[in-house]
Structure formats: C-alpha cells, structure tokens
Amino acid sequence: MADHATPIHPPASGSWRDRWQNFRIRLIADPTFQRFAAGFPPTRWIARRKGRALFDLCAGFVYSQILVAFVRLRVAEHLAGGPRPVAALARDLSLDADALERLLRASTALGLTRRCGEGVYGLADLGAALLGNAGVAEMIEHHAALYADLADPTALLRGGSGERALEHYWGYATAEAASGLSGDRVAAYSELMAASVPMVAEDVLDAHPLDGRRLLMDVGGGSGRFVAAALHRHPGLHAVVADLPSVAELARDRFAAEGLEGRAQVAGLDFHRDPLPVGADVATLIRVCFDHDDARVARLLGQVRAALAPGGRLLLAEVMTDAERPEPIGDAYFGFYLLAMGRGRCRSVEKLRDMLRKAGFRAVREVPTRRPMLARLLTAEV
C-alpha cells in the first residue's frame, strides 16, 4: 500500500456508496495498484485516460503559452487562405523555420492546426473558431496579468500582500471611490469588455428579445456596446448606460460615432453610492454582479428594482455556477480570476435567484442561452 504518514480515506461507515468511494480512492492512491491497472487490459484504458487527464492539468500553462504564441504571431490569420508550407510561412512571420515547425506541431497536437503533408500546415477546427472570434484573442493576451497573479496561488488564497495585477487593471473592484477613476484607468478594461461582449449580447438578445420595451437601462454597461447592439436590433427602443463617469464618456463617444445619440444617453455615476436614473422598463446587468461582494450586489439589486418602472423587468447575465456541481469555467477559472481581481465571486443560479427575491423581485426565471459558458441569463419582474 502507499507509504503515507496519514491513512488515505480510512474505511468509512455510512452508505455503501460512501464505502465504495473510499475504497476506490484508497486503491487509486496506491502506486502498486496504479502500475497494475496501467498494464491490466480491462483497466488499462481507464488508467491511461486518468493519467492523461492529470498530465493535461500539469501542462495547462504550457498549452496556454503555446496559444499565446499562436495568437501573437497571428498564425490563424496567415493560414486563413488555406494550408501553407512552413518555409513560406516562416518568411512571412520572420521566424526560424525549425522554430515555426515546433510551434505548428504543438498547435496541431492542441487542435488549432492540422498537418496536411510534409512541412505543410492548415487550420483545424479550434484555430478556425479563434479566427472568427476577436474577443477570445484579446482575452488570451490579457491573461498575462492573470498569470502574474497566479504565480504564487497559495499566497493568493491567503490574501497575499501588495496590489495584484488584476486588482490594478480593474481599478473599480477594490476602489473606495470608483467614480474618481480617470479615463486612463478605465480605457484598457473597457476595450477588453467591448471586444468580448458581442457574443454575449447576441446570446442574451436572442434568448430574450426586447420587443415591446421602451427604455433600457444597462447598469455597468461599459462603453455601450451591448446597448448599441440592442438599439440596432430594436429601432423603437431608447436606452441609457449607467457606468462610472469616465466609462460613460466612452459610451457617449460610441453612440455619437454610430449615429445613436438621439436614442442613447449616458449617466456617469458610482452605483454603490449614487441613485440610478429612474423610469426604464427593462434593466440589464451584464457581467456586473460577479465583480462585487454579496453585500454590494444585494444593495445594487435593490437599487435597480427601485429605479425600474412598474411592470419593469431585469435581465441579469453572466457566468453562473451550479451550487452542487463545481465546474471548470465558473468555479476554477472565474473562481481564481475574481479572487485575483478583488472582492467578487461567481455565484450559482440558486444563490442569484435567492438574492433577486430578497431584493424584492418576483417571477425569477432562468432563460437558456446558446452558449452558457459565456453567460447564463436570469430574468426577474418588479
């Protein structure tokens, strides 16, 4: 058996299911069993699959950095016209051909490219999906800040010391007076959000069209890209973006540039301190609540409800988890992302439902979205 100072999962009392689970865990932790299972034909495939899964967890950062090189060198764009020989591509990218082939073999192994013959590579499904998705490429570049904060993950869990890269990047997350943030401090995150919101906007507006609504208030609406998408879809709709003053100015510029200034207004404010504009018959909170702690979100939901007209509706969209089934995007990725950023957390659908009800909303419903990995949607009535 494994040579451990403390016994792993001592035999338990309880249901047969618990006892069986404990037995399995003890067995799998035993190196002798691991060796046996890797060679024994009936268990060999399971052992290989689990070993591979553990290897992929170990190697995740390496895979991610291969993706960074792939995006930074714009390999997908250079292969968009069809497969190309390594030598020609190397000339275009000003890269040594051997180094490029190393990258292309790696990106082929990861499903981004495919090998079409001796020294010739083309796009595979994941590389092609990346090409159609500018927001993802920007996120990949942005991850440098996240990885800097994750360099010492236990220190991060213990609260660390000094300002983290993401805490600085998202200046509002821990600021006492967020409304004082200058244009310089909000420009980078506003651009990143504007690049990544179009897919979320499509999915939310497809799942819940705003037909029949008169005035939309997008709370934390950033530089107005969601509102612009809604107004282009619904010609009778008017809207207001409520965001920090320096961000609201970016939205004003967008509306002017897109000829929407007659239908879209901005309200520069701090939604933790200032009242929201009243009278909208639909409000949206898109990727806003998970930035903040429970107490602030509870107050914000109360504020939004109070600002909505009678019969008004709230659409709350962001990544959500399942209370009883932790999963990689909400619990692993956003769990640690938001920890580095400051005070936020990715909440379960159940938790958000409960918070909405406590804020006085009724008829809280989840409306399925096309890509729940980007955002799930809850609607609630005043």
Ligand X SMILES: CC(C)=CCC/C(C)=C/CC/C(C)=C/C=C/C(C)=C/C=C/C=C(C)/C=C/C=C(C)/C=C/C=C(C)/C=C/CC(C)(C)O
Binding site for ligand SAM (CB under 6 A): 172, 178, 193, 197, 220-222, 226, 243-244, 247, 269-272, 286-288, 291
Of the candidates 337, 353, 361, 378, which one interacts with ligand X according to CB under 6 A?
A: 337
Closest to ligand X by CB, 167 or 291: 291
Least Å from the CB of residue 64 to ligand X: 10
Say how far apart CA 173 and CA 187 lie, in whole Å.
15
* Beta bridge partners of residue 285, listed in sequence order: 219, 316
Of the candidates 70, 172, 226, 290, which one interacts with ligand X according to CB under 6 A?
A: 290
DSSP string, 78-137: HTTTS-EEHHHHHHHHT--HHHHHHHHHHHHHTTSEEEEETTEEEE-HHHHHHHT-HHHH
Partner from ligand X, ligand SAM, none binding residue 221, C-beta < 5-8 Å depending on class: ligand SAM
Distances (CA, A) of 71 to 181, 310, 319: 31, 48, 24
Least Å from the CB of residue 63 to ligand SAM: 26
* Range in contact with ligand X (rule: CB under 6 A) among 22-30, 66-74, 131-139, 253-261: 131-139
Of the candidates 73, 136, 165, 349, which one interacts with ligand X according to CB under 6 A?
A: 136
Say how far apart CA 47 and CA 50 lie, in whole Å.
5
Q: Which residues of 228-261 are buried (b: 16+ CB within 10 A; e: fewer)?
A: bbbbeebeebbbbbbbbbbbbbbbbebbeeeebe
Count of residues touching ligand X (by CB under 6 A): 12
Contact (Cβ atoms closer than 8 angstroms) between residue 349 and residue 366 = yes
Partner from ligand SAM, ligand X, none binding residue 290, C-beta < 5-8 Å depending on class: ligand X
Contact (Cβ atoms closer than 8 angstroms) between residue 224 and residue 266 = yes
Of the candidates 149, 167, 243, 291, which one interacts with ligand X according to CB under 6 A?
A: 291
- Nearest alpha-carbon partner for 151 in 258, 71, 80, 61: 61
Of the candidates 120, 133, 202, 366, which one interacts with ligand X according to CB under 6 A?
A: 133
Least Å from the CB of residue 193 to ligand SAM: 4
Closest to ligand SAM by CB, 205 or 286: 286
Least Å from the CB of residue 206 to ligand X: 14
Strands 113-117 and 120-123: antiparallel
Least Å from the CB of residue 196 to ligand SAM: 7
Least Å from the CB of residue 171 to ligand X: 11
The token duo for 183 is 């244009």
Closest to ligand X by CB, 89 or 338: 338
Least Å from the CB of residue 241 to ligand SAM: 9
* Beta bridge partners of residue 318, listed in sequence order: 376
Please tell me whether residue 129 binds ligand X under the rule CB under 6 A.
yes
* Range in contact with ligand X (rule: CB under 6 A) among 26-34, 101-109, 156-164, 283-291: 283-291
Contact (Cβ atoms closer than 8 angstroms) between residue 299 and residue 272 = yes
Alpha-helical runs (H) found in 208-264 = 225-233, 245-257
Say how far apart CA 344 and CA 324 lie, in whole Å.
20
Closest to ligand SAM by CB, 337 or 361: 337
Q: Is 220 left (phi over 0), alpha (psi -120 to 50) or beta?
A: left
Partner from ligand X, ligand SAM, none binding residue 197, C-beta < 5-8 Å depending on class: ligand SAM
> Tell me, what amino acid is at 311?
G
Partner from ligand X, ligand SAM, none binding residue 172, C-beta < 5-8 Å depending on class: ligand SAM
Q: Which residue has the tokens 């090189």?
A: 69
Q: Which residue has the tokens 């992929």?
A: 56
Please tell me whether residue 172 binds ligand X under the rule CB under 6 A.
no
Least Å from the CB of residue 317 to ligand SAM: 8
Closest to ligand X by CB, 37 or 300: 300
Footprint of ligand X on this chain (CB under 6 A)? Answer: 125, 129, 133, 136, 139, 170, 287, 290-291, 337-338, 341
